[in-house]
Chain A
Amino acid sequence: MLDTGTLIEVLIIIVKAWILTGIIFSLPMPLTWLERKVAGHIHVRLGPMRVGPHGIFQPLADTLKLILKEDIVPDRADRFLFKLAPLIAMIPAFLVFVAIPFGENVTIPFINKEVSLYLSDMNVGILYVLAIGGLGIYGIIFGGWASNSKYALLGGLRSAAQMISYEIALSFACIGVVMMTDSLSLVEMVRAQAGGMHHWNILYLPIGPVWFVIFLIAALAEMNRIPFDLPEDEGTLASGFHTEYSGMRFSYFMLAEYVAMVSVSVLIVIMFFGGWHPPLEGALFNLVPGIFWFMAKAIAFIYFFMWLRFTLPRYRYDQLMTIGWKILIPISLVSILITGLMKI
Chain B
Amino acid sequence: MSNGPSRITDFIKKALFVDFIKGLAITLRYNVSRSITLRYPDQEKWVPYRRFRGQHTLNKDVNGRELCVACELCSKACPTKCITVVPMEDDSGRGIADRVAKVWKVELTRCLFCGYCEDACPTRAVRLGRDYELACFDLSCATKSKEELLEPQSIPETIKGGFVVKAKFVRSPEGIKVVPDLRMSKKRLL
Residues of A at the B interface (CB closer than 8 Å) are 38, 40-46, 49-50, 213, 307-308, 310-312
Contacts and interface: CB of A to CB of B under 8 A. Distances in A.
Contacts of A307: 24, 27-28, 31
Interface residues of B, number: 17
Contacts of B62: none
B39 A42 contact: no
A38 B39 contact: no
Contacts of A42: 27, 30-31
B37 interface: yes
A310 B42 contact: no
Main secondary structure of the interface of A (DSSP, over half): loop
B39 A43 contact: no
Contacts, number: 39
10 contacts: A42-B31, A43-B30, A44-B30, A44-B35, A44-B36, A45-B37, A49-B39, A307-B27, A311-B23, A311-B27
A41 B35 contact: yes
Contacts of A41: 30-32, 35
Interface string B33-61: 11111010010000000000000000000
B20 interface: yes
Interface of B: 17, 20, 23-24, 26-28, 30-37, 39, 42
A41 B75 CA distance: 49
B31 A38 contact: yes
A46 B42 contact: no
A41 B32 CA distance: 7
Contacts of A312: 20, 23
B35 A40 contact: yes
A46 B38 CA distance: 10
Given A44-B37, A50-B42, A307-B27, 9 more contacts: A38-B31, A41-B32, A42-B30, A44-B33, A44-B35, A44-B36, A213-B17, A307-B24, A307-B28
A227 to B, nearest CB: 10
A299 to B, nearest CB: 15
A112 B39 CA distance: 53
A45 B36 CA distance: 6
Given A307-B27, A307-B28, A46 B39 contact: yes
Q: Which 10 A-B pairs have the closest CB atoms?
A: A311-B27, A46-B37, A41-B31, A46-B35, A42-B31, A311-B23, A42-B27, A42-B30, A44-B36, A311-B24
A45 B39 CA distance: 10
Instruction: From B17, B24, B28, name the one whose CB has the most chain A CB atoms within 10 angstroms.
Output: B24
A308 B30 contact: no
A42 B37 CA distance: 12
